[in-house]
């Protein structure tokens, strides 16, 4: 019996050819031809005025926090059910993360809680579109705008998803994308900062280039480049951009593959799940998802533990997801306590993600489905 992993890297076809071209062009440092091609592709996908590749999604968030001039003592609202980087970016600037609970349906930040969480110290609201299903931006943006609080999107799951017909990633003043191995499009490690507000554009280029005006120099706008701000190095090698470019160009094929995987699970598990009281991903009609993941929400933590073991016995790797940030050792330092975000606490213990990758075959999916259906543990 061959084992079915949770995730598998995928080659769209042109990756090595593009990497070889980057080498032959004698430009493998940052901001070469393939970086520019990725920028253009992403700007088109997102309808964004400017996108800058970064070394990771985490670094895109770090850059966003730098650009917002987050200071010690500031507060930033983040969902408790997200990857650590959503909070860490602001914590690194000295801010205090204020953890918000999530909606029980989409597992996104619960917008109804925001009025009680914002105060005069709130300097940003960071939202994360779980599984690429949009947060309720129609409620979040007016509330933030009325108080002059910038919204940052962690769109690591959501590239090509839409909320009310508009691309996820186009709502916040800035958005972080990730091209980590586990994401829909990947170059192993990589990310991008999406700049939707022209106010941050010039400084973003500077901070990403070690605090220098090197980008302006290369465009011929200044005759030498120099140190003009505090910054760091956030730009990836053009070799990685070449790899990523091949994947982004193949986005239609990749998304079609992922749609088939998602819909197979949905078609073959929806009835079983309803009978067993198991939850499946919820995609509201006004949201279009980019087929990032598929999960089961089991009735109890014990059922999940037993199902993981049952699947493991058949060489199928299913994995849980985020532990609530407010209950982590770091979250507790910021005052996190049990019961603070009850939905995140409950969901986190019961959610199980199924194997999901671009070339997952229908016969392997059939094996996963049969293994789940044969589980008698609850
Ligand atoms: C993957 C991910 C990140 C981090 O991206 P990296 O590229 O691995 O740094 C951030 N937030 C979320 C929600 C993610 O899933």
Is 1 a member of any domain?
no
Q: Which two tokens stand for residue 114?
A: 């925001």
- pTM reported for the whole predicted model: 0.97
CA of 108 to the centre of ligand 1 (A): 15
The Cα–Cα gap between 366 and 129 comes to: 28
The Cα–Cα gap between 325 and 272 comes to: 32
Pairing of strands 122-128, 75-79: parallel
Q: CATH no. for residue 160?
A: 3.40.640.10
Q: What kind and span of H or E run contains 346?
A: helix 342-350
Domain that holds residue 186: 15-250
Residue 284 has a pLDDT of 98
Is 71 a member of any domain?
yes
Structural contact between residues 340 and 330, judged by C-beta atoms closer than 8 angstroms: no
- pLDDT grade for 215, boundaries at 50, 70 and 90: confident
Q: Are residues 196 and 263 in the same domain?
A: no
Render 157-186 in DSSP notation, one character per residue. TTTT-EETTEETTSSSSEEEEE--TTSSS-
Nearest to 86 by CA among 69, 65, 108: 65
CA of 189 to the centre of ligand 1 (A): 10
Q: Are residues 268 and 303 in the same domain?
A: yes
Render 285-312 in DSSP notation, one character per residue. TTEE------EEE-S-HHHHHHHHHHHH
CA of 336 to the centre of ligand 1 (A): 22
Q: Are residues 294 and 199 in the same domain?
A: no
Question: Quick check: CB of 88 below 6 Å from ligand 1?
Answer: no
pLDDT digits (tens, 9 = 90+) for 113-147: 999 999 999 999 999 999 999 999 999 999 999 99
The more confidently predicted of residues 51 and 215 is: 51
Task: Report which ligand 1 atom has the smallest distance to the Cα of 179.
Answer: 7
Most ligand 1 atoms within 8 A of CB, residue of 57, 89, 179, 322 to mutate: 57
Question: Quick check: CB of 155 below 6 Å from ligand 1?
Answer: no
Structural contact between residues 193 and 175, judged by C-beta atoms closer than 8 angstroms: yes
Residue 252 has a pLDDT of 98
- pLDDT grade for 9, boundaries at 50, 70 and 90: very high
CA of 156 to the centre of ligand 1 (A): 5
Residue whose CA lies nearest to ligand 1 atom number 11: 83
Q: Angle, nearest 10°, between helix axes 33-46 and 15-24?
A: 130
Q: Where would I find the beta strands (DSSP E) of 11-120?
A: 50-54, 75-79, 96-100
Q: Are residues 73 and 164 in the same domain?
A: yes
pLDDT digits (tens, 9 = 90+) for 327-337: 999 999 999 99
Residue 378 has a pLDDT of 77
Domain closes at, from 250, 273, 290: 250
Q: Are residues 297 and 361 in the same domain?
A: yes
Number of domains in the chain: 2
CA of 190 to the centre of ligand 1 (A): 9
Is 10 a member of any domain?
no
Domain closes at, from 204, 230, 250: 250
């Amino acid at each position: 019996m061959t084992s079915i992993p949770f995730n598998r890297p995928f080659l769209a076809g042109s990756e090595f050819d593009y990497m070889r071209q980057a080498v032959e062009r004698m430009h493998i440092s940052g901001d070469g031809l393939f970086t520019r091609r990725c920028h253009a592709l992403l700007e088109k996908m997102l309808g964004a005025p400017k996108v800058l590749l970064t070394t990771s999604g985490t670094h895109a968030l770090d850059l966003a926090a730098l650009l917002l001039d987050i200071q010690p003592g500031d507060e930033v609202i983040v969902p408790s059910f997200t990857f650590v980087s959503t909070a860490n970016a602001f914590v690194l600037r000295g801010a205090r993360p204020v953890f918000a609970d999530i909606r029980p349906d989409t597992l996104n930040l619960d917008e109804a809680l925001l009025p009680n969480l914002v105060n005069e110290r709130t300097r940003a609201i960071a939202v994360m579109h779980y599984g690429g299903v949009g947060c309720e931006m129609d409620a979040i943006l007016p509330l933030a705008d009325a108080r002059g609080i910038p919204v940052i999107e962690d769109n690591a799951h959501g590239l090509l998803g839409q909320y009310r017909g508009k691309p996820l990633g186009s709502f916040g003043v800035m958005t972080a994308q990730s091209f980590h191995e586990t994401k829909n499009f990947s170059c192993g490690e990589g990310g991008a900062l999406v700049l939707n507000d022209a106010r941050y554009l010039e400084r973003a280029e500077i901070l990403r280039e070690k605090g220098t005006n090197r980008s302006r120099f290369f465009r011929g706008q200044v005759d030498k480049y120099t140190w003009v701000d505090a910054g760091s190095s956030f730009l990836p090698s053009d070799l990685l951009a070449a790899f990523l470019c091949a994947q982004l160009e193949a986005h239609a094929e990749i998304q079609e593959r992922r749609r088939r995987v998602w819909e197979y699970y949905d078609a073959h598990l929806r009835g079983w799940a309803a009978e067993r009281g198991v939850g499946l991903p919820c995609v509201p009609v006004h949201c279009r998802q980019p087929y990032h993941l598929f999960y089961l929400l089991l009735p109890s933590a014990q059922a999940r533990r037993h199902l993981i073991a049952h699947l493991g016995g058949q060489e199928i790797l299913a994995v849980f997801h985020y532990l609530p940030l407010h209950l982590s050792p770091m979250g507790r330092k910021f005052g996190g306590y049990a019961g603070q975000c009850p939905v995140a606490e409950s969901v986190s213990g019961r959610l199980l993600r199924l194997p999901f990758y671009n070339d997952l075959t229908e016969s392997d999916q059939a094996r996963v489905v049969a293994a789940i259906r044969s589980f008698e543990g609850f």
